Amino acid sequence: MNCAEYKELLVAYIEGLLDETEKRSVAQHLRDCAVCRAELKETSNLCSRLVNNGKNLAQTNLEDVVLERIIREQNVRLKTASKIGASLKIRRIIMKSRITRFAAAAAIIVATVFGLHLFNPFRATLTFADVIEPILKARTVVLDFVVGSEETGPVMHDIVVGSRIRRTISNMDTIMVIDLDKGKMLTLDPPSKGAAYVDIQGPLREGTRNLIEFVRNAVIRVKDRPDIPVQELGQREIDGRKAIGFLVRGHNEQITIWADSRKATPIRIEMLLGQTLYIIKNIKFDVPVDETLVSMEPPAGYTLSDKQFDMTQFTEQDFITVLRLWAEHLLGGSFPQSLTVGDLMSLTPQMGEKIGQLNISDEEKTQLGMAMGRGFVFFQQLDPTGVTWHYAGSGVKLGEADKAIFWYQPKGSQTYRVIYGDLSVKDVAPGDLPK
Amino acid sequence: MPETDQYYVERCLDGHPDDFRYLVRSYQSVLLAHLAGKLGNKDKAEEAAQESFVRAYFGLDRVKKPESFFSWLLGIADRVAKEHHRREQLRRQREAIRSFSEEAPSPELSQDYALESAIGDLPEAYRQVILLRYYGGHSCNQIAAKLDMPLGTVTKTLSRAYAMLRESLQQHERSEVYEV
C-alpha cells in the first residue's frame, strides 16, 4: 500500500474499526512514514477539538426550556388570535375556515363524554347515552362561541335550527343566515338595510357544519377511539349550574368539557386547537326558537344586492392578488418585510380603502375585494405553524423576476410552488428551493 | 438503548407531548453546533435551537417520513437561522442610522466559533456526518445505519470532511493574522 491508501484508512484506524491485520499494517507504516504520522497528528488534533466543542455544547440542556416554551407559545398564540383585526368580512371568513379544525377536534370532545361512561365513578348517574341522547335528538341549539380570549375576543352567537344557522357577532352589525344544505349564506346589514347572498359551497360550507351535525358525526367516529386518555377535573359551578369537568390532551389540541351533573348535557366546552382558543358556552338544547330568524328570505324593507358573491374556491391566484395589491398600493412597489395573519388583518381596512379609490368600475372593485378576501382565506388555509411555507419578500421590489418572495408546499404535493417578485410562479423540488 | 426517532414522533402525535423531550435530548447538541456556526454567537444559537424545536413540535404532524426527523429538523433550523440573520441585519441597519455608530459592538462569540463556522460551511452530506459523530454522540456504525450508507462511506466522508475542516480552519487562522 502507498501513503494515499494508508491515508484512506486513517479514520477507520482512529475509530478502531480495522481488523487486527490492517491495524498492525497501519501502525507499522506510521512508524516508518513521517508524513503520515504528521497527518495522523493533525487529524487527531482536529478530532479532539471537535470532541471538546461537542462536550462544551452538550452542557447546555434545552429539554425543560423547550417544553416550557411550547406551552408558552400556545398562550402567545392565543393572545395573537384575540387580536384578530376589525374587518367584518375577513373575520367572518377566517372564523369559518378555522372551524374546519374544530370539526376534527369534535371526535375528542365526544371522546371525553365517551370516557365518562367507561372510566369514571359518576357512571352510576351519568352515562354516555344520557349525555349523547339530547344532542342527537335536539332540534335546536343555542350557544355562544368565543374565538380567542373570553375578555377581549368577540362573541359569536349561534342559533342552530336543523341545518340553518343564524349567526351574529358582538362587535359587528351584520347578521348571517347560513343554509348548510344549499351552501348559501344570506348576509344582512341592518344600518344600510342591505342584503346579499354569498355562495359558500366547498371549503367554507364544509367548515361551517353546524354543531349538532358534527357532534353526530363524531359520535360515530369516536367509537373507534376508546383509548384517548381523559383527566377528571372534578366538580365546579358553571353559570350557576353544577358541572363535572373533563380534560383531554391531544398533540396540538386540548379540550375541556363541562357537563351539567344533573341533566348530563354539555354546558361549556373549551378547545385549544393549534393556535386558537375556542370557547363554546351557554349551550342550551331544544329551546323554542322563532323560525323566521333562520329564514333565507331578506326581511321586509331590505334591498337585495344583485351582485354575485362567490366564496367557493380559494386559489393561489387570489393570494397573488393580495401580494400585488399590498406592494402596489400600500408600499410603493416593495413587498412587505413580513407576512403574517396579523399583518394582513391590520392592513385590511387600508387595502379596502385603496380599492375604493381605484379608477375602475364598481363591479371591478367588488371583484377585486372578493379576490382579496379569498386570497386571505387561501393564506389562512396554509399550515399555521409555517413549516411548509416561507415568506422571503422583504426588500424585494414588485417586478424582480429573479427573486423568490414566497413558497409553499400544496397538500400532497412533492414539489413547492414558488412565487417570484414579478408574481410569476414555478414548481420547484424541495432540494432546489432558494437558500 | 432508547427507541427510534420514529417511535417518539409517533408518541408525540398520539398525544404524549412530554415525549418530545427525548427528541430534544438526542439533537440539542447537534442543533447547537449547526446553529452556532451559522450565527456565531452561543446565546443566539441557543435561542434559535429552542425556536427550531418549538416549530418542529408544532409541525410534527407534517413530517412525511418520521424516520428522517433529523434532516427535517435541520431544514427548520436553517430557516430559523436565516430569519435571525435577516432580523439582525435590519437591527444593525436601524442602529446604524439612529446612532451613526461606525460599527455595532461585536457579539460574544461561542467558544470555538471558527470550528463551528467551518462546519457550517461544509457541504450538506459532510456536515450531517460530522454533526452526528461529534454532537449527536453517534458511532460510525450508528451513522451508517441512520443514514443508510455503508460503513466505508461513513469513514471516507469523515476523512474528506476533516480535510475540508482543516483547510478552512487554516484559512481562518491566516486571515486572523492579516487582520492583526
Q: Which residues from A are below 8 Å from B162, CB to CB?
A: 11, 43, 46-47
**Could you tell me if A196 and A251 lie in one domain?**
yes
Please provide the CATH number assigned to the domain covering B1-111: 1.10.1740.10
Last residue of a domain, which of A250, A281, A304?
A304
**Cβ–Cβ gap A63/B115 under 8 Å:** no
Most confident among A372-376, B2-6, B79-83 (mean pLDDT): B79-83
Give me the residues paired with residue A10 across strands: none
Residues B34/B40/B44/B50 CA torsion (nearest 10 deg): 0
Residue A226 sits in the same domain as residue A328:
no
Instruction: Summarize chain B as % helix, strand, coil (round to 5).
Output: 80, 0, 20
The single-letter code of the amino acid at A64 is: D
Find the helix or strand (DSSP H, E) in which B104 lies.
Answer: none
Residue A39 shares a structural domain with residue A116? no
Across the interface, do B159 and A15 touch by the CB < 8 Å criterion? no
pLDDT digit string (tens) for A199-230? 878 766 765 654 555 444 443 443 445 555 56
pLDDT band at A115 (very low <50, low <70, confident <90, very high): very low
Number of CB pairs, chain A paired with chain B, less than 8 A apart: 130
- Residue A197 distance to chain B (closest CA, Å): 37
d(CA A416, CA A428): 5
Residues of chain B with CATH 1.10.10.10: 112-180
- Sheet containing A404-408: which strands, arranged edge to edge? A389-391, A404-408, A416-420, A425-428
- 3-state class (DSSP) for residue A178: strand
B119 with B165: CB under 8 angstroms?
yes
Nearest chain A alpha carbon to B169: A46
Question: How many angstroms separate the CA of residue B96 from the nearest CA in chain A?
Answer: 18
Q: How many domains does chain A have?
A: 3
Q: Which residue in chain A has the smallest CA separation from B23?
A: A63
Q: Is B62 close to A337, i.e. CB distance below 8 A?
A: no
pLDDT tens digits, residue range A331-344?
888 998 888 665 66
Asked whether B134 and B32 are in contact (CB, 8 A), the reply is no
Beta-carbon separation of B155 and A69 below 8 A: no
- Residue A211 belongs to domain spanning: 86-304
User: A402 with A278, same domain?
Assistant: no
CATH of the domain at A288: 2.50.20
Statement to judge: residues A203 and A261 lie in one domain: yes
- Count helices and strands (H / E) in chain B: 8, 0
Residue B41: the pLDDT is 78
- Is residue B24 within 8 Å of A62, Cβ to Cβ? yes
Write the pLDDT tens digit of every residue in A138-155.
Answer: 778 888 877 666 666 667
Given an 8 Å threshold on Cβ–Cβ distance, is B79 in contact with A390? Answer: yes
Shared domain for A286 and A331, answered yes or no, is: no
Q: Quote the pLDDT of residue B102.
A: 43
Alpha-helical (H) ranges within A341-419 are 341-357, 362-381
Angle between helices B151-179 and A34-58 (to 10 degrees): 90
* CB atoms B54 and A69 under 8 Å: yes
The shortest CB-CB distance from A63 to any of B21, B46, B115 is to B21
Segment 45-64 of chain A within 8 Å of chain B by CB = 46-47, 49-54, 56-58, 60-63
* Nearest residue to A159 (alpha-carbon basis) of A170, A168, A150: A168
Do A123 and A260 reside in the same domain of the chain? Answer: yes
Is the pLDDT higher at B129 or at A355? Answer: B129
pLDDT tens digits, residue range B59-95? 887 787 877 888 899 999 999 999 888 888 777 766 6
CA distance A24 to A30: 10
- State whether B36 and A57 contact (CB < 8 Å): yes
Kindly write down the DSSP assignment for every residue of A318-333, as one continuous string.
HHHHHHHHIIIIISTT
Please check whether residue A257 lies inside any domain of the structure. Answer: yes
Same domain flag for A155 and A296: yes
Amino acid at A23: K
CA distances from residue A228 to A57, A107, A110 in whole angstroms, order as listed: 38, 10, 11
Position A65 in a domain: no
Q: Looking at the structure, tell me whether residues A149 and A281 fall in a common domain.
A: yes
A200 falls within a domain: yes
Q: What is the pLDDT of residues A56-100, one digit of tens each?
A: 887 778 888 888 887 666 556 544 443 333 333 333 333 332 322
Name the residue in chain B with its Cα closest to that of A39: B163
Residue B157 CA to residue A300 CA, distance in Å, equals 79
Domain-embedded: residue A72:
no
Where does a domain end: A304, A323, A353?
A304
Please report the pLDDT score of residue A27 as a whole number.
92
CB-based contact A54 B60, cutoff 8 Å? no
Inter-chain CB proximity A228 and B25 less than 8 Å: no
Q: Kindly state whether residues A233 and A118 are assigned to the same domain.
A: yes
In this predicted structure, which of A270-284, A415-429, B17-31 has the lowest mean pLDDT? Answer: A270-284
Confidence bin at A386 (pLDDT 50/70/90): low
Report residue A352's pLDDT band, with 50, 70 and 90 as the boundaries.
Answer: low
Mean pLDDT of B18-44: 86
Q: Given this model, what pLDDT does residue A148 score? A: 63
Q: For A67, phi and psi rounded to 5 degrees?
A: -65, -40
A window 351-390, beta carbon within 8 A of B = 383, 385-388, 390
A141 with A233, same domain?
yes
Cβ neighbours of A56 in B, within 8 Å: 111-112
Q: Which residues in B lie closer than 8 A to residue A70 (C-beta atoms)?
A: 17, 20, 54, 57-58
Out of 2.40.128.120, 3.90.660.10, 1.10.10.10, 3.40.50.720, select the CATH number for domain B112-180. 1.10.10.10
| Of B86, B111, B165, Cβ closest to residue A394 | B86
Is residue A122 scored above 50 in pLDDT?
no
Which of A43, A62, A70 lies at the smallest CB-CB distance from B28?
A62
- pLDDT of the residue at A87: 30
Give span(s): CATH 1.10.1740.10, chain B. 1-111
Same domain, A150 and A264: yes
Mutate to test the interface with A, among B32, B93, B122 (most CBs of A within 10 A): B32
